[in-house]
Amino acid sequence: MKWDHALLLSGAVIMAVGHCMGLFATPPEAYMGETGRILYLHAPTAWAAMLAYLLAFLAAIGALWTGRLAWDATVESSIELGVLLSVMLLFQGSIWAKPTWGIWWTWDARLTSTAIMLVAFIGVLVLRSVVHQPARRMVVTAVATIASFVNVPVVYFSVKWWSSIHQLPSDTGSVDTIMALPLAVSAFGTAFLTVGFIGSRRRLAWKRLSREDAAPDLPELPPPLDLEVG
């Protein structure tokens, strides 16, 4: 069994255990009631998105440092997973916001900065899709990824820097001990799944990039015809 498949399988099992604990073995949240159980899904998704972007950032440094396309494959797969997780995060947040805040979306530092982070990394993927030369695409993507990563700490600290209706960052120390274990288990499950998916997606990306790199260059275009009139 490949390492990414093992991570995917174990991640799915651990996440299922974490969610079962969150749904059946913990009491409802004191203020939000049953709605508060979305914490076991929402917070791990947020951490996994940050993890994916962190991996993209580190791989981008690796790509610039070594110039090897293998790092580029990691950047591509990590950003894609990060974007997917960010979209899920915003949807989950809206589902949570409606019963607790009474609205699907509001101007809030955490919500807005997360949406901006998502748009920034979608921009990197768009940029990547229009540059066709593999070596240049790798450098351009790596530079844009490192620059876009500036948004990630802004998202994390947004609830501390601005007066936000979003709660302060959740962690296993900020919730009751009875809730901490399912939260930690769900977080590990989601992290395993994320790294597993990045690994699988990376293999595909690496195969495509290797073929692209091995393909012979196209012949030079012939010079334009010199049609001199008169």
Partner 1 sequence: MMQFVWVLHKDLFVEWRARSRIVGLATYALVMLLIFAFAVGTDTTALQQHAGAYLWLAVLSASTLLLVQSFQQETEAGALDGLLLLPVNPVALFYGKAVANLVLLTLLAAVALGSSFFLYDLHLRGSLVLLCLNVVLGTAGLAAPGTLYAALTARAPAQQLLLPLLLLPLVVPPVLAVVKVTDLLLVGDPMNQLSSWLAVLASFDLVYWSLTGVLFARLVEE
**Which residues sit at the interface with partner 1, rule CB under 8 A?**
64, 113, 116-117, 119-120, 123-124, 126-127, 130-131, 135-136, 139-140, 143-144, 146-148, 150-151, 154, 161
Provide, rounded to whole angstroms, the least separation between the CB of residue 125 and partner 1.
11
For 159-188, b where at least 16 C-beta lie within 10 A, e where not — what string? Answer: beeeebebeeebeeeebeeebeebbbbbbb
Provide, rounded to whole angstroms, the least separation between the CB of residue 70 and partner 1.
17
Nearer to partner 1, 118 or 205 (CB): 118
> Which residues fall within 8 angstroms of residue 207, CB to CB, at 6 or more apart?
none
Nearer to partner 1, 130 or 218 (CB): 130
Nearer to partner 1, 223 or 230 (CB): 223
**Sign of the four-CA dihedral 60, 66, 71, 72:** positive
> Which residues fall within 8 angstroms of residue 120, CB to CB, at 6 or more apart?
148, 151
Provide, rounded to whole angstroms, the least separation between the CB of residue 112 and partner 1.
8
Instruction: Give the residue carrying structure tokens 């009751």.
Output: 176
Provide, rounded to whole angstroms, the least separation between the CB of residue 68 and partner 1.
14
Nearer to partner 1, 87 or 139 (CB): 139
